Amino acid sequence: MSKNYLTIAYQKLQQRLQFGILHSGEDALNDAFCQLWAGQYDPATEADGEKLLRTAVRHRQISLWREENRHPQTSIEKTNLVQPPPDTDAQETFLQVKKLIETQLTPLQKDILTRHDINDETYKEIAQALGMQEAAVRMQLSRARNIIRETYKKTKR
């Protein structure tokens, strides 16, 4: 019965969002409402429901803002692409790096590298799929790239 207070608060906030708030605000409200509804939150009054929902929306918006700033998107036109030196055969380099990935990395590192760099999965998605912490996924990817980089440098000497 008390979850009705949460629903009432949701409907009020949703109506306010229709008047000039960005689309991401509505997404944050929907995400927060779903999380609260599925959780053990039990507001005793309508004011408690609205307060709880506002706090959840604020936290969700902060998380979205931090994620955008952590991984900013850059336009391809503004990116200076590094061209390989003219004497390097790109196909040969690709095959060497591919061989290093197959021979030097652990199966976990290969999986994370493939998911992130080829399948464009986020750290969070990879962590959930593999049952790991997001920080552990980042660390494994960093280690894998360091192994490839250092081994490649040694073979070029």
Q: What CATH number did the domain enclosing 109 receive?
A: 1.10.10.10
Q: Which amino acid appears at position 149 of this protein?
A: R
Residue 121 CA: distances (Å) to CA of 24, 69, 79, 140: 21, 18, 22, 15
Query: Pick from 106, 110, 108: which is nearest to 118 by CA?
Result: 110
Residue-wise pLDDT tens digits, 52-83: 777 777 777 777 777 777 765 555 555 565 65
Residue 83 in domain: no
Looking up tokens 């969700």 gives 60
Residue-wise pLDDT tens digits, 1-42: 455 776 777 677 666 665 554 555 666 666 666 666 666 666
Q: Are 8 and 42 in contact (CB under 8 A)?
A: no
What is the model's pLDDT at position 128? 92
pTM flag (> 0.85): no
Residue-wise pLDDT tens digits, 89-127: 777 877 888 888 888 889 999 999 889 888 888 999 999
Q: Which amino acid appears at position 137 of this protein?
A: V
Domain range for 11 is 3-70
Q: How many domains does the chain have?
A: 2
Q: Report how far residue 11's alpha carbon sits from residue 29's, in angstroms, rounded to the nearest whole number.
A: 10
